[in-house]
Amino acid sequence: MQTLIDGFRTFRATAFQNHKERYRHLSVAGQNPRAAVIACCDSRVDPQLIFGAGPGDLFVIRNVANLVPPYAPSADYHGTSAALEFAIRQLSVPQVIVMGHTRCGGIRTLLDRGADGGDFIGPWMSIAADVRARVLDGAAHPEQACAAAEREVIRQSLANLMSFPWIREKVETGTLALHGCLFDVAAADLLLHDPASGAFRSMAAETERRPPAACG
């Protein structure tokens, strides 16, 4: 705990000082995030850091394997769905981003153990049961299966988002956009999902190919 307290003191002396007025404004005016990000709770993946976002920029929803369950109102507990409802219906975010990542432990549990992954993890990962079946049928080896499943889960979550009627309505009227991406932890690359082809393209590669800005 002491390490975390030391980190807080550093935050108070540096980042907070740099954004002091922004924090004061947010405390009075409330939040108006530019996007909601559904990300994995993996400690290696920090959406705010990856996107270079500041205080109040992102409404971050984190769970195991960045899954979106299908729309299914009930008396059960629905943490991810409740957070989505808050972001969409109360904060009116203009974008929702599903962000997966490489070497995901939740995906590995899905492939190795299916619905038998503990008291809560297995049932939660059963949201992607169809992904597991498709990937294990078509993959040549475990690493290929994991990489394929990481991408398929993003596609599945994007499809499940459209099962929420108040999300579908906003998408169809053009007031909400849905995006998918995969963060490569080792390469620090962001692979953006192309909804037309279903493929993922490297943002790092596109940045490196971009010509330098002209002087003057």
Indicate the CATH number for domain 31-208: 3.40.1050.10
Domains of the chain by residue range: 1-30, 31-208
Say if residues 34 and 57 touch (Cβ distance below 8 Å): yes
| Residue 160, token pair as written in the block | 């499940």
Distance CA(92)–CA(141), nearest Å, equals 43
pTM of the model: 0.90
- Which residue's entry shows tokens 């979106």? 68
Categorize the per-residue pLDDT at 72 as very low, low, confident or very high, splitting at 50, 70 and 90.
very high
User: Which positions ≥6 away from 154 have C-beta within 8 Å?
Assistant: 66, 98, 99, 100, 180, 181, 182, 193
- pLDDT recorded at residue 68: 98
Where residue 6 falls among pLDDT bands split at 50, 70, 90? very high
**Which pLDDT score, from 0 to 100, does residue 157 have?**
98
Mean pLDDT of 72-85: 94
pLDDT digits (tens, 9 = 90+) for 28-65: 999 999 999 999 999 999 999 999 999 999 999 999 99
Question: Whose structure tokens read 């709770």?
Answer: 41
Between 189 and 214, the higher pLDDT residue:
189
Give residue 209's pLDDT.
66
The answer to whether the beta carbons of residues 67 and 99 sit under 8 Å apart is no
